[in-house]
Structure 1
Amino acid sequence: MGGISIWQLLIIAVIVVLLFGTKKLRNIGGDLGDAVKGFKKAMADDDKKAITDETASAEKTVETEAKVETKEKEQV
């Protein structure tokens, strides 16, 4: 009731294949797959960059705190 049955989906699939052809659909599928892979790679690279930036920031903070402590000890 109100849903799409398997037969309706099958008919739609046949019409799409007849309109576009299998070669064009294969190319579209390959292009879509490459786009998804590229997106995942970019997200992974951004995550690595963010982790590297956070680590560098933390190291700078530790260095700054060490310098401040050294100056305080010298003043005393």
Structure 2
Amino acid sequence: MLNNIGLPGLLLIAVVVLVLFGRGKISSLMGEVGKGITSFKKGINEGEKELADQSETTEEETASEKDKV
């Protein structure tokens, strides 16, 4: 069904959305989407950093246990 939407169809949809919501509402919505994406990326980076810290801690504990034996 959606395979037949071309450039004219997308332009028509964009115009209808712009008329219904207005330019201010759409720009504020896009700003919120941008903030959400930024927050998501920040969360991903923090999660990767936390995993790296945990793996370093585990390696240090393993090394100290081997030294004790």
Q: Which TM-score bucket, shorter chain as reference?
A: over 0.9
Q: Work out the percentage of aligned pairs sharing the same amino acid.
A: 31
User: How much is the aligned-residue C-alpha RMSD, in angstroms?
Assistant: 0.9
The structure that has the greater radius of gyration is 1
Shift of 1:8: 1.2
Query: Which structure 2 segments of 5+ residues have no match?
Result: none
| Number of residue equivalences | 67
Query: Which structure 1 segments of 5+ residues have no match?
Result: 69-76
User: TM-score, normalised on structure 2?
Assistant: 0.92
Q: Secondary structure at the match of 2:5?
A: coil
User: TM-score, normalised on structure 1?
Assistant: 0.84
Ranges of 4+ aligned residues in structure 1 off by more than 4 Å = none
TM alignment of 1:28-47, pairs within 5 A: 28-47=29-48
